[in-house]
Structure 1
Amino acid sequence: MAPTLGATPGFLISSATQAQTSASEPTWRHGLSLFGELKYPADFKRFDYVNADAPKGGVARTIAIGTFDNFNVAVAGIKGSIAPGEGLIYERLMENSQDEVATEYGLLAEAAQHPDDFAWVMYRLRKEVRWHDGKPITPEDVIYSLEQLKKLSPMYASYYRHVAKAEKSGEREVKFTFDAPGNRELPHIVGELMVLPKHYWEGTDSQGRKRDISQTTLEPPLGSGPYRIKDFVAGRSLTLERVKDYWGAGLPVQVGLNNFDELRFEYFRDNTVALEAFKADQVDWIAENSAKQWATAYDFPSMAEKRTIKEEFPVSDSGRMQAFVLNLRREQFKDARLRRAFNFAFDFEEMNKQLFFGQYKRIDSYFYGTELASSGLPEGAELAILETVRDKVPAEVFTKPYQNPVGGDPEAVRANLRESMRLLKEAGYEIKDHKLVDPSGKLVTVEILVDDPGFERISLFFKPSLERIGVTTSIRMVDSAQFESRERSFDYDIVTHTWGESLSPGNEQREYWGSQATEVSGSQNLIGIKNPAVDALIDRIIFAKSRAELVAATKALDRVLLWNFYVVPQYSYPYARYARWDRFSHAELPKYARSGLPSLWWFDADKAARIGKKS
């Protein structure tokens, strides 16, 4: 599953809560888990980690980096969509628990059922569910949402590609039939479906114009969630207000959450400007992604007076791969030796020292930060899985542990550059007039495309290293809209991208690395991988019959991706960094919540009075 979307093959609900045998009819369940028993029983009142008595009220002002030109989630994936607020306006069939892995409980749906072979799943809507205009949420809305999201969003089209049919099966029931049995993840990820109002999108706006769900719009959308849009300034700010008569306020999955009367999102082009706004008390908290700023830029009066606070929250809910992406759709990157040479040219250790105050670790796995990351040599179940694709993967997969080149001192850097040149010479490249040319005599040139000053810095650091091996290198800084357009059409040599990985990978792996996604505009297969071994290993993940098999298959996939040198891995940090004005409180945060902002926090009037208002 993707970190914000689904879950994955593993164990489904245990006998204690499943109440189902292979000989019995499927029974309705209040929750689904892929790892064993549900923590919370059918009659639970709230999650353990919330404060049921948290006060409601106050305003929280936060930062969004970028801009927006669109309130339409059906064409989400565009950077201009209102990503920070979407999950508060729209709702899903089920809601994830933040103190369990891959476990969800009923939100719009009160229950779900599926057979032992996972050939289909049925969801039953709650009687009381309704849109903000008072109309009931219906099975027709659910079916419409699936159809439109699959049609309009490459991400959803890939994620739900195995949902062959959705049909109304009762007054409040929807049945989803899959294209084949055996995919344990599918019942679960259907519960992650964001539900949209069919009657709204098939109606007309206040000017009498027919709405079009395939187009961007700045008309405030109709939702069903705890918040609605109060006002906005296009591209600059967005204010959500809590819905006072929200239908689901008393649900066990909502008690103690959504405590602010207003959530205000202020949009900034970059983090440097955003920090100045935070220091001036124009926003209440800031997520800091710059190691340099975290180390040097928070020495100001309010921090010394403890009116503002720096805090790091452990990242334990997901992993990541962040890297320079080498676009295999470009002919020059089809040779793995060139790609590997680029990795040897990247002196991460020196960059970490100069730019990041030594705070980062180099990423050495596509599932970095999780138990799914490969290490050492393959053995046991992982080795057995790799044997099935032995003739389709690099020999080193079986004989050498993957390791990134290590630089940081002149001798190591020279050795790495010599290895780069050896690989290039082996592949038929040579230096002419201090420039690298390919076997046909064509000059090797690359453009690194960026839309963020932070990534421009690391690209500028990489550029001289590439030039030392003869690669003619340029860096092009574009605005977010142009970057998104070029990325969606795969019009780049190199970009920086981050793939988030859940603790339970699944169907989204096809969207990331699968051959079918290579030419789908807007897909996350930015590398352009078309590899039958990768496809086969993704299938092993999706159709794993146990957690142990899932882990082994994921490690096998990780190892094959690494040894193909599709990317130049960058860096990661095991904590989420936040600074905030000390006006808020929270209960003890669960393991998989990260910061828990804003849903698990509330406005603390006593703290606010103590620190005073901005000068």
Structure 2
Amino acid sequence: MAPVLGLNPGMSAITPAFADEAPNGLKWRHGVSTFGEIKYPADFKRYDYVNPDAPKGGVARLFELGTYDSFNMVVAGFKGTVASGVGRIYDSLMDASSDEPDTYYGTLAEAAAFPDDFSYVIYRLRAGARWHDGKLITPEDVVFSFGALKTNSPMFSSYYRHIEKAEQIGERDIKFTFDSPGNRELPMITGQLVVLPKHWWEGIDAQGNKRDITATTLEPPLGSGPYRIKEFAAGRSLVLERVKDYWGKDNPNAVGQNNFDELRYEFFRDDTVGREALKADQFDWYSERSAKEWSVAYDVPAVRDGRLIKELFPVRNQGRMQGWVFNLRRPKFADARLRRAFNYAFDFEEMNRVLSSGVYHRDSSYFDGIPDLMASGLPEGLELQILETVRDKVPPDVFTAPYKDPVGGDPEAVRSNLREATRLLKEAGFEIRDRKLVDSSGQPFTVEILGASADPGMERIALFYKPSLERLGITVNLRPVDIVQLQNRLRDFDFELTTTVWGQSISPGNEERDFFGSQAADRPGSRNLAGIKNPAVDAIIERIIFAKSRAEQVAASKALDRVLLWNFYCVPHFNYDQQRYVRWDRFNHPDLLPKYGVSGFPNLWWYDAAKAAKLKGS
């Protein structure tokens, strides 16, 4: 999910008493928020949810699925696979608080200022911010970073496309100018900018070659953040070490955090091997995605005696839709009735019972997990007004019927759903010949499900789904690929049906263009995997982005949700409102974890020497 910021005109953030006014008579802000006055004042010392006395030291070993071949995050998603953890070596202009929804405070920037029409933003850098080589971070670095990301990153070229330019306007001030007023997110999106060292990227490497920010590299980059790369084994492991003289260690949004001396990322090709490695104490912390494995895979002595802990953490800060997504670039999926038939063939209830012990609920929204944004019932009020503006471009059912996924779970319901799927297919011009589904030209209909073999959990679900599709006469192939092949094929949109997840923030905005917008549909590496090109979707996304109030943002989000659902761009999977973690008991955390931080690991946790010694002696 892309984090998103916004500030409504009538919801002003607390303004600190800076020594001077910002340019053009504006006032400096030390923090900004979507939802009103921010919690922490200008002189705050730390977040409430941290332990300011947390001891520094120890090692945290982290599991990562897959591999990597680059440390250059600028071309991530387009060239190479970037190692997890690399982002920790950099600072951004602002960072998010975890006990407020969509509220950010200055990191590299000490303050921001922007006019009431949101036509530009000015950031002022902190005077003491510096790179790990001791050089000061300058406005030139910020301008360089913006240009590098917007020009070379498929994701950021879309995310920043309404930011026309960045320019230095003072000793420590940078102005970002937007292509039009009214986009209240843009000043804050700019604050998420990760700043890169211009002098390093334009310099020479140890072999005397000029560095190239448009190419993959395994040369450890220069950073400014709380960690730096210590060592690595390409594709297999990465070790970050804490920067003990980190320039920002006393910043309010860093106190009590970044407590481990080392973060060790261990890369595994699949979860099955990873689980066994965890139980053998080869790493410390694992996010368990499978309900079945959570139930059956950890009946081991270390769990029974409390050395290896299973723990659930509530998820309150994000929504999502997970499902099998159709590649609409393939003409075979052009008819929404065919796509809907695929949904009728998925017996979620039986799959949930057999494979997942019944713990999941089915995704019924592209904002599942954020009730305020989920479409329900029939549209009314402002949502209905928004939908009326695109009435001629959306399915009629948007206005006349609440969206509901088919319900299975027993033989009669399954038969009824398959009959409805058959009816839809016939209506779309398909028929059964010799027990095979054929199109109007007599060609058999086949579908390839890509990527299931790269994830054993998804493979089980695909194997469960396959016989139901075959009962409709559809020939189904499961294409085995490894993680790297999967990433490359998805980057080039080389698939028919695959699994994806669209993550959503509490305050949706510009990222919706990259998820569902027409301009992203044919851009390699974009997150519009489905290839959606729908003028109604585009128009509603603009209503979300240019909403003048939270009420309008909510109404437009519900309208978007409803239009996406009724176009059947995916076969919805399932969701769970808690995150499952398994960890070795050698760590500790603050008594009160933040509402929007899930587990807070590893940022807020610390190494507990007494617990570690007890583990070692057991």
User: Does the pair score TM above 0.5?
Assistant: yes
Whether the 8 Å contact between 1:13 and 1:32 is mirrored in structure 2 is no
Whether the 8 Å contact between 1:12 and 1:32 is mirrored in structure 2 is no
**Matched residue, 2:433:** 432
1:86 Cα deviation after fit: 2.6
Distance, in Å, in 1 between the alignment partners of 2:10 and 2:86 is 29
Q: Which amino acid aligns with 1:174?
A: I
**Matched residue, 1:607:** 611
Q: Which amino acid aligns with 2:186?
A: L
- Report matched runs for 1:436-475 at 5 Å: 436-450=437-451, 451-475=454-478
Whether the 8 Å contact between 1:12 and 1:33 is mirrored in structure 2 is no
**Matched residue, 2:581:** 578
Q: Select which of 561, 566, 584 maps to 1:563.
A: 566
1:461 Cα deviation after fit: 1.3
1:611 Cα deviation after fit: 2.5
Q: Which amino acid aligns with 2:413?
A: A
Q: Which one is further off, 249-258 or 68-77?
A: 68-77
Q: Which amino acid aligns with 1:163?
A: I
Compared CA separation, residues 593 and 16, structure 1 to 2 (3 A): closer
**Matched residue, 1:546:** 549
1:17 Cα deviation after fit: 3.8
Q: Unaligned stretches of 5+ in structure 1?
A: none
Q: Which amino acid aligns with 2:378?
A: L
Matching of residue 499 in structure 1 with residue 502 in structure 2: yes
- Report matched runs for 1:114-513 at 5 Å: 114-370=114-370, 371-450=372-451, 451-513=454-516
Q: Which amino acid aligns with 2:392?
A: D
Distance, in Å, in 2 between the alignment partners of 1:16 and 1:576 is 34
1:396-434 CA-partner distances (Å, limit 9, x unpaired) = 111111000011110000000000000011111101111
Q: Which amino acid aligns with 2:495?
A: Y
1:213-236 CA-partner distances (Å, limit 9, x unpaired) = 111111111100000011111111
Whether the 8 Å contact between 1:9 and 1:542 is mirrored in structure 2 is no
Whether the 8 Å contact between 2:77 and 2:491 is mirrored in structure 1 is no
Distance, in Å, in 1 between the alignment partners of 2:61 and 2:480 is 29
| Partner secondary structure for residue 549 of structure 1 | helix
1:440 Cα deviation after fit: 2.2
Q: Which amino acid aligns with 1:71?
A: F
Compared CA separation, residues 15 and 584, structure 1 to 2 (3 A): closer
**Matched residue, 2:44:** 44
Compared CA separation, residues 79 and 143, structure 1 to 2 (3 A): closer
**Matched residue, 1:595:** 599
1:27 Cα deviation after fit: 0.8
Q: Which amino acid aligns with 1:472?
A: T
1:609 Cα deviation after fit: 2.0
1:6 Cα deviation after fit: 2.4
Q: Which one is further off, 7-16 or 451-460?
A: 7-16
| Partner secondary structure for residue 246 of structure 2 | coil
Q: Which amino acid aligns with 1:542?
A: I
Whether the 8 Å contact between 1:78 and 1:484 is mirrored in structure 2 is no
Distance, in Å, in 1 between the alignment partners of 2:27 and 2:278 is 51
| Partner secondary structure for residue 312 of structure 1 | strand
1:8 Cα deviation after fit: 4.0
Q: Which one is further off, 83-92 or 321-330?
A: 83-92
Compared CA separation, residues 345 and 277, structure 1 to 2 (3 A): same
Compared CA separation, residues 135 and 508, structure 1 to 2 (3 A): same
1:271 Cα deviation after fit: 1.3
1:150 Cα deviation after fit: 1.2
Whether the 8 Å contact between 1:362 and 1:572 is mirrored in structure 2 is yes
Distance, in Å, in 1 between the alignment partners of 2:530 and 2:204 is 41
Distance, in Å, in 1 between the alignment partners of 2:203 and 2:16 is 42
Distance, in Å, in 2 between the alignment partners of 1:497 and 1:264 is 28
Whether the 8 Å contact between 1:10 and 1:544 is mirrored in structure 2 is no
Whether the 8 Å contact between 2:66 and 2:484 is mirrored in structure 1 is no
Q: Which amino acid aligns with 2:598?
A: R
Q: Which one is further off, 80-89 or 219-228?
A: 80-89
Whether the 8 Å contact between 1:326 and 1:493 is mirrored in structure 2 is yes
Compared CA separation, residues 507 and 9, structure 1 to 2 (3 A): farther
RMSD between aligned residues? 1.7
Compared CA separation, residues 79 and 567, structure 1 to 2 (3 A): farther
1:23-69 CA-partner distances (Å, limit 9, x unpaired) = x8311111111110011010000011100000001111110111111
Whether the 8 Å contact between 2:118 and 2:186 is mirrored in structure 1 is yes
Distance, in Å, in 1 between the alignment partners of 2:422 and 2:383 is 34
Distance, in Å, in 2 between the alignment partners of 1:12 and 1:344 is 46
Matching of residue 522 in structure 1 with residue 525 in structure 2: yes
**Matched residue, 2:75:** 75
Q: Unaligned stretches of 5+ in structure 2?
A: none
State the percentage of identical aligned residues.
65
Compared CA separation, residues 347 and 9, structure 1 to 2 (3 A): farther
Counting matched residue pairs gives 611
1:491 Cα deviation after fit: 1.0
1:11 Cα deviation after fit: 5.6
Distance, in Å, in 1 between the alignment partners of 2:81 and 2:569 is 29
Q: Which amino acid aligns with 1:183?
A: N
Distance, in Å, in 2 between the alignment partners of 1:316 and 1:81 is 29
Whether the 8 Å contact between 1:285 and 1:580 is mirrored in structure 2 is yes
1:477-517 CA-partner distances (Å, limit 9, x unpaired) = 11122111111111110010011100010000000000111
Distance, in Å, in 1 between the alignment partners of 2:533 and 2:17 is 43
Q: Which amino acid aligns with 1:596?
A: G
Distance, in Å, in 1 between the alignment partners of 2:560 and 2:140 is 39
| Partner secondary structure for residue 436 of structure 1 | strand
| Partner secondary structure for residue 293 of structure 1 | helix
Whether the 8 Å contact between 2:15 and 2:27 is mirrored in structure 1 is no
1:87 Cα deviation after fit: 2.9
1:83 Cα deviation after fit: 4.9
Whether the 8 Å contact between 1:91 and 1:108 is mirrored in structure 2 is yes
Whether the 8 Å contact between 2:490 and 2:525 is mirrored in structure 1 is yes
Q: Which amino acid aligns with 2:608?
A: D
Distance, in Å, in 1 between the alignment partners of 2:448 and 2:426 is 22
TM-score normalised per structure 1: 0.97
